[in-house]
Amino acid sequence: MSLPRGFPVAEYRERVARAQGAMAKAGLAALLLTTEPEVRYFSGYLTRFWESPTRPWFLVVPAAGDPVAVIPSIGAALMAITWVRDIRTWRAPDYDDDGVSLLAATLREIAGGGRIGLPMGHESHLRMPLADWARLQGEGLDFAPDNGLMRGLRAVKSEAEIAKVREICAIAGRAFARVPEIARAGVPLDEVFRRFQMLGLEEGADWVPYVAGASAAGGYADVISPAGPEPLARGDVLMLDTGMMRDGYFCDFDRNFTLGPAAPELRAAHARLIDATDAAAEIARPGTTAAELFHAMDRLLTGGKGSDAGRLGHGLGMQLTEGLSLIPQDHTVLEPGMVLTLEPGIEVAPGRILVHEEDIVIRNGAPEFLSPRYGREMVELEG
Q: Which residues lie closer than 8 Å to 224 by C-beta, 6 or more apart?
A: 212
DSSP label at residue 66:
-
x/- track of binding to a copy of itself for residues 85-104 (CB under 8 A): ------xxxxxx-x------
For residues 11 and 278, which CB has a smaller minimum distance to a copy of itself in the complex? 11
Show contacts with a copy of itself in window 2-21 (CB under 8 A).
Answer: 5
Is 302:310 a contact under the CB 8 Å cutoff? no
Out of 193, 249, 257, 374, the only residue in the binding site for a copy of itself (CB under 8 A) is 193
How many whole angstroms separate alpha carbon 194 and alpha carbon 177? 16
Query: Under rule CB under 8 A, which residues in 267-306 are in contact with a copy of itself?
Result: none
Cβ nearer to a copy of itself, comparing 14 with 195: 195
65 sits in the region (left: phi over 0; alpha: psi -120 to 50; else beta) called left
CB 97 within 8 Å of CB 128: no
* 3-class secondary structure, 89: strand
Question: Counting Cβ atoms within 10 Å, is residue 191 exposed (0-12), middle (13-18) or buried (19+)?
Answer: middle
Q: Among residues 128 and 361, whose Cβ is nearest to a copy of itself?
A: 128
Q: Cα–Cα distance between 58 and 35 in angstroms, integer?
A: 8
121-150 residues in contact with a copy of itself (CB under 8 A) are 121-131, 134, 145
- For a copy of itself, the binding residue among 22, 280, 312, 320 (CB under 8 A) is 320
Tell me: does residue 230 bind a copy of itself (CB under 8 A): no
- Report the nearest approach of a copy of itself to the CB of residue 250 (Å): 9
Q: State in angstroms the smallest separation of the CB of 341 from a copy of itself.
A: 11
Taking the complex as a whole, the smallest distance from the CB of residue 124 to a copy of itself amounts, in Å, to 5
Say whether residue 205 binds a copy of itself (CB under 8 A).
Answer: yes
Residues 197 and 208: their CA atoms lie apart, in Å, by 6
C-beta of 280: minimal distance to a copy of itself in Å? 18
Q: How far is the CB of 308 from a copy of itself (least distance, A)?
A: 8
Residues 6+ positions from 350 with CB-CB distance below 8 Å: none
* 207 near a copy of itself, judged by CB under 8 A: yes
Q: Which of 322, 319, 324 is nearest to 50 (CA)?
A: 319
Binding positions for a copy of itself, 25-64, rule CB under 8 A: 46-49, 51-54
